[in-house]
Structure 1
Amino acid sequence: MTAALPVFINSEFGGIVALDMTLNELLEESTFFRPSESSSAFVVDESGLVINHPLFPYVNDLDSLIVEATAFERDPEFQSIFESLKAGETDQKSFTATRYFADGNDTRYGVRSVQVPSTYYWKPILGTPFRLCVVVATNEMRTTPPQLAPGPPFVYNRLDIERPENPCAYQQQYFCTTDHSTVALSPRSFTLAEEYVLMIETPSWVQELTDYMEGRSTTPTNLKEGVRDSVTLTMEAENLWTSTSNKNSILFRYIATQDGVFRGYPGCILPKGYDANTRPWYDHAVANPDKFAVTPPYMDLNTRELVVTFSKVLYASSQQEDVVGVMGLDLTLSGFDEIIRTAYPECERFDTSCLLIDKGGFVVWSEGLIRTPFSNLVHITTQEMEISSTLIQRDVLEIRRCATIEDGKYHRTYKISREMPFASQTFTGTDGQCFNFSLKLVPDTNVYLLVRDASSSPVGCPSGISRCLCSSNVPGDETVACSTDDVTSCQCPCKSNNPNYDPCTNSYNNSAPDVIQPCVPKSIRNLDGSDEEVSLQSLPVCFAVGSGSNDNVGLIVGVVVGGVVFIVLVALCIIGARKVRKTRQQVKKDETPPTPRKVPDSSPPPFPQTFVATISGSDGYEEAEVSEYTNPYLDIVN
């Protein structure tokens, strides 16, 4: 964007003075204003066209359509706000607004809508044609941090500035330490986000930050209230991380808080501006708040390797209302493969094939994953076209749509609509093979195990079933066009023209009976780091990863994941017990810091029993009966 003013000399026009800036720099504060998942801010111009909005994709996308705010804010009560914004007025209004949340970390997962009592505050931005609107969830519970006692050690992730006592090389490419976890702060941790984005992290700045975090200074470094408490509370996890002996398959362990604090182990240097709240594992955990979220394989931002992440939402209280952060761990693909094969021995049979898919139908694990890893999302409709068609016909796999407002299109998405197990009749596939299949939820997670069994006798096997229309589509490519606009047919995830968008008027008809909900765009990218490379020569290896056998890997994952959840939740419940509505209360300085409770001893739950399915009914379809079993590979410590 260019800002320009005329220059006059003795009342005569002398030229133009102008300044170029990116919209990202201009709108940094509104971008990172997210005190909660239900509160946000957006900016429009004098015509009501959106400049920045939570449902608008990254602001540097030059191909985006610029449309009116009513395309995103669709409640009838917003219309009067929209007119007031265009008129340049200052006002506020409260009503129950519709909020849209992603069902995963990608538009291909679709959205879920929630009704949230909200208050809209708006005013013009002086000296500009822009208007700012701040939306606050009026009934959300705000927390007041206790007077926690800060203390060492605080280890900032800039190990190149403050060199650790025992540095090591991790994965042959990262300067790390196994003595401590390290902390990184994102722009959302700072009162003035753009000031942090533009500054250089000098040794004096790191020392000032360390003094504040360890209680030697009372002057915060442009930090938001509560950031130091988040750093102190997450320190509880380090004791568990450093005491875990098994490290073969676990790459990283970490916790990210809503206010931008990221603590990871082993402690390594991270790019400046690293924002964990925009990573796939964070989005999947928030989209599955009552489960342990397992991500499809994705490219780790630090190691540039494909990993699978287990993550879990952290709440401010036992009521599970306010999300305060997410914790997780990264596993190597080989380690994840070992866990699945150990938990599900039926997948090792020559006449059986297995897939692990998430609730959106995307493949999390397959038997060929280790041999030929995939870097894009792969959907069940491309892997098992006949099975997908059957699941859609039986209302197990639900077809959904969401609109990408910025390009006038809509995405066809899918969601597994029930958690009850499902078992099919026997079919003849297009390859002439007779088979049946079952689908069951992995308890306490967002993933389902699909087992295709070809051991059935071909005698009396019915003829083939219909297949999804995916032959012309490229697996993993989100830009492919739908083969047909029939909203009931089975197709791969695809895009098509939005019937609610009129390109002639550049507007959306949100009163249409078949109006499509807006997609939630991918999170904004992390800022480009400018850190200098650190030499790894002569450094010892931190520890080996990805080799050897882990006989008790399920238990190890359970201890790391479940144990951290328990410890951090206990600590955060101290905050939750002190919550107040809307306003923060001053904490007395002489208040004694609370003492976190100890984690009780807990033996691992029993290994899963055998899956048993019975089929009845003339059409061959019936919900399967399943014997009771626990989580087959996480062994969560509840």
Structure 2
Amino acid sequence: MKKSGLYLTKQLTILVCIISVSHAVNVDGGSFSQVLTDIANNALGVNKVQEHYSSLRYTNSLLDGEGLVTEISASLSTKFDGPIQALMRIKQAVEEDIDSFSSFISMPQCCHATGLTYSSQFRTKVDMNQACVTISSYSPPERTFPTTKIQEVMKENQRRNPNLKWQYFGKEDGIYLNYPSLKLNDCSNYDPRFRPFYVSTATPVQKDVVVVIDKSGSMNSLHNSKTLLQIAKEAAISVLETLNPNDRFGVVAFSSSANIPGSSTIGRECHGTELAKATPLNIKFMKSQVSIIRSGGSTNYEAAMKAAFKFFVNTVDMSGDRGKVILFLTDGEKTAGGEPLEVIKEENKKMNNRVVILTYGLGQQLSTNAIQKLKDMAAQTRTDVSYGEIQIGEFKHINNPDFLRSSMASYYNRFSSNEEIQNPIFSVPYQDLFGIGLISSICLPVYRHGGELVGVACSDATVSDIMSDISYFRQGELSYAFVIDGTGRTLIHPLLSLPNSVKDDPIYVNIEHLERSTSATMVIESMKIGKTGNETFYSKRTVPRGNMLYEGIETENVLSHYYWKPVSRSNFSVCIVVGDNDKQPILDPQTVTKDSFVYHRLDYTTAEGSNCQHFTRLGTKDKSVVMLTPGAFLEPFNYLDVDETKAMITKYEDFLTGKNVLNNPGLKESILNSVSSTYPAENIWKNSRELSEFVVWRYIGTSDGVMRLYPGVELPKNYDHTRRGWYKRTLALKGKVVLSAPYLDLWGSGYLITLSKTITEGSGSGPASGQTVAVIGTDFTINFFYQMMQNTYSDCQNTQQYSCFILDSSGYIVIHEDFANPDSSSPKIENVHVIYKESAIAEDLINNNMMNQASCIDFETIKEQFTYRVATNGNDRMNSYAKYKIDPVPNSNIFIVIKQRVYTTSTRCCSIYGISPDSYKCSSKSCDCLCYKDASFDYCKNTYTLLGDAAQTCSPRDPELQTENLNDEQKVQNLQFCFDPKCSTRTQKSDCFGVAGCSWCVRDSNDQELQQPYCALQSVCYFGQDGSKDPYNNYVGDNSNTEEDGGLKGGAIAGIVIGVLVVVIIVFCVYRHIRAKSNISTSNERPSLQTEPTTTQQTNAHDNPAFRSQNQRSSKRPSFQQQSSINNQGNLMFYPQNQSAEYTVPTAPLENPPPYSAVVSNGGQPKHGYPNNSYLGMEKRSYM
């Protein structure tokens, strides 16, 4: 028998029969604390790794905030130089070559682009050898096209600066040139003149725009199969699309009376009374409302103008220099209401006559009277000049409705200036069409000699490229950095998602919502006007407790030193916040060896050793592998944007193995030492055999971005352990042994539990600051952990009378008998909260202040998210209706709970499973599921209402991982297994139970109990059911003996002998059970319980990777109309088994341990061999 099997059995007392008698239960958490320590040391080598780090010498120096802010400000300015210089060369080339532009197209149209290849840098197929053009349907016949000289300048820009993104030039005649070439589906509908980059550059004044649309019955007339109203709505939408977030807008639809589209929508009432900021969220909402306007009624100009001016009167203009315009559209003479000219006179004088009115008459049926009235309205013929200079507008008669869109969308020319603009215009960051992330366009107008506008040239820069110094700012434990623009809009902050991980249209967050200290107000105002300074005061730090959505955050007050400085050549300002006495530990130079580094790209590595199959992955057991996460690089997004090559990986290997230490391939200075200092963990793991059969993964991640993993497999390129739940949870619980709730390993090993612990810096020969320099972790099977719990507590083995489970400090169940002994082929294991699984206990915990709700505001979804906290020194509640005892496990984040098996009446707290907390709205119950409430948010002002008692800001969510290229199905064919479990040779349940890849088979294919249980691969006996296949396509597990049909299977002969003994034992136990039954407080009959409704919406993983394929990406802002009813069944609940299924009181003790459960089959074979979790509403996951 292997040593690992002895580990499970050496302390196990085999209880043949349990006599059910009443006694005081004993679940002292201290006993299990030692078990956790043993696992941490024996499976992971935590003690030895910490001893190694404690022997290392570190130098600690106080952070220099003033020096850091100067350094980073200069770095940001330098990063802007690349796209700015590219832009200046494009502008110069166009101005020099403009007279050579001709009617001949010298480059392909984007709609017909060919020869494209996929680019990681642009996240789409492009042709780097040429540009392409589009021609707007509104482009005039006398249009001209740029020459190839402009294309060559753009190509040269790319050669000089490979990190450049899109370069383009839009002309005044609707021609658009884009480099590199890409395929567009509809070129004619794209008109650069109506895009925000063009409008905000050609006329960089901030605008307040009100669009007034006639929806009277006559607008139902047809033109080329479209109604005039449909044409008008398309024109209005085009106007909205010209706006940028610095602009504001309103929309009026009128007939007999005026109404404001969308103003009756709950939460959007402000659209009816004030101008709204033109954020992507508001523009998208208003476009949807404009699209559903219906025609009918008469034509009341007066009502329309009153509604339009109300927007300006009700909205404060702090600057006083915003352009203000009303675009008034109608197809006919007014037929109702009073005189609109009087309304214009009275209302505009309140605005000092600053509002311009542009009127549009649509169609050939427009009467002479209507035309004259519209001209008078544009000229404001009755307006009193004594209140200010009259801003004379313009009337346009659109005889051909096809030209309405281009005519209305050109309104911004009204605000053009005779002064040529020389300084680049930075656009507000927006979401790139192809998924690059947030992009800022840096643009300049292009002029002919004499000042005539030719068009607008731009060079795009990703916010992630420019802000990488801030994204990966890792100095000390209490320090961070952020950047804002001149309006106070936050570009990057640790409480916001990384710019490259933003998938939805961004919600622009004002810095005052993130820096809420009253003392920060002065800092913010100084930054907005481009000043330099420093200040000291207390401010809060947000500490994520793991996965924010499921575990929430904690906060702490820290004495902080703020240093801020403007970024030259931009309207940005950077701030460094340094915690008082915060230090940066620097490891003294380490000895480098050729064995210390094997890159995780096993398909490219040159290291010696053979590859093998580790579940569904191509792996190696000869060495651990190292991944250099983006944070390990000086330019993280250069690494992310470029496909790795053999030559690049060779440079990593040469530098990190000491072969060529003088040729640093762009890594941070500390990386060489981190690779070397983590290397001893490899030998510790390889030599740790005692628990190797139960452990699936072992890993250590350093704070500067080095990830070492054993067995070695390839990780996603954008993987960053410092932003994963397991790492953040462990940091928040520094010094403790930290357990995660179970998660589904994407790579074939089933449901796993993570155990992790912080590694702190060593003292060497001097004092240490005790800062965390790494987190070490391991993943093992749920059945192994269940057996550890059962072995530790004898009362937990008395399954007739008691049931035990383990709870973490967020209320999630780490292990439960239903996880190890499921009663169905689709058990609920992942993200199972006590509020759902053990409602009676949860309700009692809440009522006795041992479990409480906490909340934070998620600015990405405009929601206040509620999670739970469990905190108790232990409590015996056996005399309560819930009948349980809870005790904390010292030096950990878990609690051991034992409950008595009794019937009890209770209202089900939470009856839904598999729905994300951001998709379930809170009810009025005190005992509710994890849920959300709508945050108090003013959409029009784009501000949150944060009173003194408002919840703190949530930490950002874990970024999605790019797993598209991690399919090893072809690579692992014919490979040996890294660790062969040899399931068929294991004849005893105790030898099979909990071994990774094995399952103790106890039910046949018809779900009937097998007379001869046996140990089999989990791939052929899924969840203990013979013939049930796991969802992993790749064959996992047993090299020694493949299961075959016919004859007695492994363990069957021994099973026959044991079976006879079991029959005798059962008879005896039944007799003893009947005698003792009167001592158990149970009812003679149990009510029939229905299975509660489940929901199948997508959810984020509670822990670890939360992988989600791109084609199944869910919006962070879903519609929340699904509400699950609570199945109460007469308010009577049998309490203590899986509450969603019926429970039968066993007549004999359950065998110990119960059968091994792996992952759930959904009957199909999902793509790439990944498990299909749609039945759970779960996302795809993996190990970390």
Task: Using structure 1 for the length normalisation, give the TM-score.
Answer: 0.77
Q: 1:191 matched to which residue of 2?
A: 634
Residue 16 of structure 1 deviates from its aligned partner by 2.3
Q: 1:229 matched to which residue of 2?
A: 673
Q: Structure 2 vs 1, CA of residues 67 and 279 (structure 1 numbering), >3 Å: closer, same or farther?
A: closer
- C-alpha distance in 1, partners of 2:817/2:933? 32
Q: 1:540 matched to which residue of 2?
A: 976
Q: Does 1:422 align with 2:865?
A: no
Alignment match of 2:594 (pick from 132, 152, 171): 152
**386-395 or 349-358: bigger deviation:** 349-358
- C-alpha distance in 1, partners of 2:709/2:534? 41
Q: Structure 2 vs 1, CA of residues 67 and 351 (structure 1 numbering), >3 Å: closer, same or farther?
A: same
Q: Structure 2 vs 1, CA of residues 76 and 483 (structure 1 numbering), >3 Å: closer, same or farther?
A: closer
Q: 1:477 matched to which residue of 2?
A: 916
Alignment match of 1:71 (pick from 509, 513, 535): 513
1:176-325 residue pairs with structure 2 within 5 A? Answer: 176-219=619-662, 220-245=664-689, 246-300=691-745, 305-317=750-762, 321-325=770-774
Residue 170 of structure 1 deviates from its aligned partner by 2.7
Q: Does 1:352 align with 2:802?
A: yes
Q: Is the 8 A contact 2:471 2:498 kept in 1?
A: no
Q: 1:84 matched to which residue of 2?
A: 526
1:585-600 residue pairs with structure 2 within 5 A? Answer: none
Q: 1:490 matched to which residue of 2?
A: 927
Q: How many residue pairs were aligned? A: 536
- C-alpha distance in 1, partners of 2:960/2:498? 8
- One-letter amino acid of the structure 1 residue matched with residue 551 of structure 2: Y
Secondary structure of 1:167's aligned partner: coil
- C-alpha distance in 2, partners of 1:308/1:517? 30
Secondary structure of 1:42's aligned partner: strand
**185-194 or 541-550: bigger deviation:** 541-550
Residue 535 of structure 1 deviates from its aligned partner by 2.0
Q: 1:578 matched to which residue of 2?
A: none
Q: Structure 2 vs 1, CA of residues 474 and 528 (structure 1 numbering), >3 Å: closer, same or farther?
A: closer
Q: Does 1:361 align with 2:808?
A: no
Q: Structure 2 vs 1, CA of residues 302 and 212 (structure 1 numbering), >3 Å: closer, same or farther?
A: farther
- C-alpha distance in 1, partners of 2:477/2:924? 33
Q: Is the 8 A contact 1:289 1:313 kept in 2?
A: yes
- One-letter amino acid of the structure 2 residue matched with residue 75 of structure 1: S
- C-alpha distance in 2, partners of 1:8/1:182? 56
Q: Does 1:106 align with 2:548?
A: yes
Q: Is the 8 A contact 1:27 1:52 kept in 2?
A: yes
**298-307 or 512-521: bigger deviation:** 298-307
Q: Structure 2 vs 1, CA of residues 335 and 474 (structure 1 numbering), >3 Å: closer, same or farther?
A: closer
Secondary structure of 1:281's aligned partner: helix
- C-alpha distance in 1, partners of 2:959/2:448? 44
- C-alpha distance in 2, partners of 1:172/1:551? 20
Secondary structure of 1:406's aligned partner: coil
Identify unmatched segments of 5+ residues in structure 2.
1-438, 997-1184
Q: Is the 8 A contact 1:124 1:132 kept in 2?
A: yes
Q: Does 1:522 align with 2:957?
A: yes
**236-245 or 435-444: bigger deviation:** 435-444
Q: Is the 8 A contact 1:6 1:16 kept in 2?
A: yes
Q: Structure 2 vs 1, CA of residues 536 and 312 (structure 1 numbering), >3 Å: closer, same or farther?
A: same
Residue 410 of structure 1 deviates from its aligned partner by 1.2
- C-alpha distance in 1, partners of 2:526/2:750? 49
Residue 527 of structure 1 deviates from its aligned partner by 5.1
Residue 351 of structure 1 deviates from its aligned partner by 2.9
Q: Is the 8 A contact 1:469 1:483 kept in 2?
A: no
Q: 2:584 matched to which residue of 1?
A: 142
Residue 502 of structure 1 deviates from its aligned partner by 4.1
Secondary structure of 2:868's aligned partner: strand
- One-letter amino acid of the structure 2 residue matched with residue 334 of structure 1: N
Q: Is the 8 A contact 2:495 2:953 kept in 1?
A: yes
- One-letter amino acid of the structure 1 residue matched with residue 652 of structure 2: L
Alignment match of 1:377 (pick from 808, 814, 831): 831
- One-letter amino acid of the structure 1 residue matched with residue 932 of structure 2: K
Tell me the alpha carbon deviations over residues 263-310 of structure 1, each in whole angstroms, 9 at most, x when there is no partner: 111122222232122222212211211311101122446558532110
Tell me the alpha carbon deviations over residues 309-344 of structure 1, each in whole angstroms, 9 at most, x when there is no partner: 100011114767411110011112333333333334
Tell me the alpha carbon deviations over residues 345-377 of structure 1, each in whole angstroms, 9 at most, x when there is no partner: 433412322321110101111212243454752
Q: Is the 8 A contact 2:852 2:870 kept in 1?
A: yes
Q: Is the 8 A contact 2:612 2:621 kept in 1?
A: no
Q: 1:338 matched to which residue of 2?
A: 787
- C-alpha distance in 2, partners of 1:17/1:494? 47
- One-letter amino acid of the structure 2 residue matched with residue 422 of structure 1: N
- C-alpha distance in 2, partners of 1:35/1:513? 31
Q: Is the 8 A contact 1:482 1:491 kept in 2?
A: no
Secondary structure of 1:97's aligned partner: strand
Q: Structure 2 vs 1, CA of residues 546 and 508 (structure 1 numbering), >3 Å: closer, same or farther?
A: farther
**33-42 or 153-162: bigger deviation:** 33-42
Q: Is the 8 A contact 1:347 1:354 kept in 2?
A: yes
More strand by share: 1
Residue 256 of structure 1 deviates from its aligned partner by 0.3
Tell me the alpha carbon deviations over residues 357-399 of structure 1, each in whole angstroms, 9 at most, x when there is no partner: 1101011112122434547522111112221111111111122
Tell me the alpha carbon deviations over residues 73-122 of structure 1, each in whole angstroms, 9 at most, x when there is no partner: 11112111111121122333333321110122223322211222333233
Residue 439 of structure 1 deviates from its aligned partner by 0.9
Q: Structure 2 vs 1, CA of residues 532 and 485 (structure 1 numbering), >3 Å: closer, same or farther?
A: closer
Tell me the alpha carbon deviations over residues 117-169 of structure 1, each in whole angstroms, 9 at most, x when there is no partner: 33323333344443322323341122232132111202111221125443233
Identify unmatched segments of 5+ residues in structure 1.
429-434, 557-638
- C-alpha distance in 2, partners of 1:223/1:62? 31
Q: 1:449 matched to which residue of 2?
A: 896
Q: Structure 2 vs 1, CA of residues 28 and 453 (structure 1 numbering), >3 Å: closer, same or farther?
A: same
Q: Is the 8 A contact 1:270 1:302 kept in 2?
A: no
- C-alpha distance in 1, partners of 2:598/2:605? 8
Q: Does 1:391 align with 2:826?
A: no
Q: Is the 8 A contact 1:280 1:295 kept in 2?
A: no
Cα RMSD over matched residues? 3.0
- C-alpha distance in 2, partners of 1:302/1:32? 29
Q: Is the 8 A contact 1:485 1:496 kept in 2?
A: no
Q: Does 1:175 align with 2:618?
A: yes
- The percent of aligned pairs where both chains have the same amino acid is 28
- One-letter amino acid of the structure 2 residue matched with residue 340 of structure 1: M
- One-letter amino acid of the structure 1 residue matched with residue 456 of structure 2: I
Q: 1:12 matched to which residue of 2?
A: 452
Higher relative contact order (CA 8 A, sep 6+): 1
Q: Is the 8 A contact 1:42 1:53 kept in 2?
A: yes
- C-alpha distance in 2, partners of 1:239/1:425? 47
More helix by share: 2
Q: Is the 8 A contact 1:247 1:545 kept in 2?
A: no
Residue 255 of structure 1 deviates from its aligned partner by 0.5
Alignment match of 1:408 (pick from 862, 875, 888): 862
Secondary structure of 2:979's aligned partner: coil
Residue 171 of structure 1 deviates from its aligned partner by 3.1
Q: Is the 8 A contact 1:382 1:475 kept in 2?
A: no
- C-alpha distance in 2, partners of 1:225/1:454? 59
Q: Structure 2 vs 1, CA of residues 116 and 491 (structure 1 numbering), >3 Å: closer, same or farther?
A: same
